[in-house]
Chain A
Amino acid sequence: QQQVKQSPQSLIVQKGGISIINCAYENTAFDYFPWYQQFPGKGPALLIAIRPDVSEKKEGRFTISFNKSAKQFSLHIMDSQPGDSATYFCAASSSGYALNFGKGTSLLVTP
Chain B
Amino acid sequence: GAVVSQHPSRVICKSGTSVKIECRSLDFQATTMFWYRQFPKKSLMLMATSNEGSKATYEQGVEKDKFLINHASLTLSTLTVTSAHPEDSSFYICSARDPGQGAGEQYFGPGTRLTVT
A46 near B32 with CB under 8 A, answer no
A48 CB to closest chain B CB, in angstroms?
11
A42 contact set on B, CB distance < 8 A: 110-111
Q: Is the CB of B110 within 8 A of A102?
A: no
A89 to chain B, nearest CB (A): 6
CB distance from B104 to the nearest CB of A (A): 5
Bin the interface of chain A by size.
20 to 34
For B44, the closest partner residue in chain A by CB is A101
Chain B residues positioned under 8 Å from A46 (CB to CB):
1, 105-108
- Could you give, for residues 28-72 of chain A, a 1 whenever the CB lies within 8 Å of some chain B CB and a 0 otherwise? 000010101000011111100101000000000000000000000
B113 at the interface (CB under 8 A from A): yes
With A43-B93, A89-B44, A102-B43 as given contacts, are A95 and B1 in contact (CB-CB < 8 Å)?
no
User: Would you list which residues of chain B between 1 and 48 have a CB under 8 Å from chain A?
Assistant: 1, 4, 6, 32, 34, 41-44, 46
Given contact pairs A41-B113, A49-B105, A96-B97, A103 touches B43 in the complex (Cβ within 8 A) = yes
Q: How many chain B residues have a CB neighbour from A under 8 Å?
A: 25
> For B44, what are the chain A residues with a Cβ–Cβ distance below 8 Å?
44, 89, 99, 101
**Chain A interface helix/strand/loop/mixed:** loop
Interface residue from A36, A51, A102, A106 paired with B108 (Cβ < 8 Å): A36
**B32, B103, B104, B111: the one within 8 Å of A43 (CB):** B111
Q: How far is the CA of A45 from the CA of B2 in the complex (A)?
A: 10
Q: Would A43 and B6 count as touching, CB distance under 8 A? A: yes
How far does the Cβ of B73 sit from chain A's closest Cβ, in whole Å?
19
Decide if A44 touches B108 in the complex (CB within 8 Å). Answer: yes
Beta-carbon nearest neighbor of A9 in chain B: B41
Distance of A8 Cα from B4 Cα, bound (Å) = 30
Residues of B within 8 A of A106 (CB): 41
| Smallest Cβ-Cβ distance to A4: which chain B residue | B43
Assembly CA distance A35 to B104 (angstroms): 14
Q: Which of A's residues lie within 8 Å of B, judged by CB?
A: 32, 34, 36, 41-46, 49, 51, 89, 95-96, 98-99, 101-104, 106
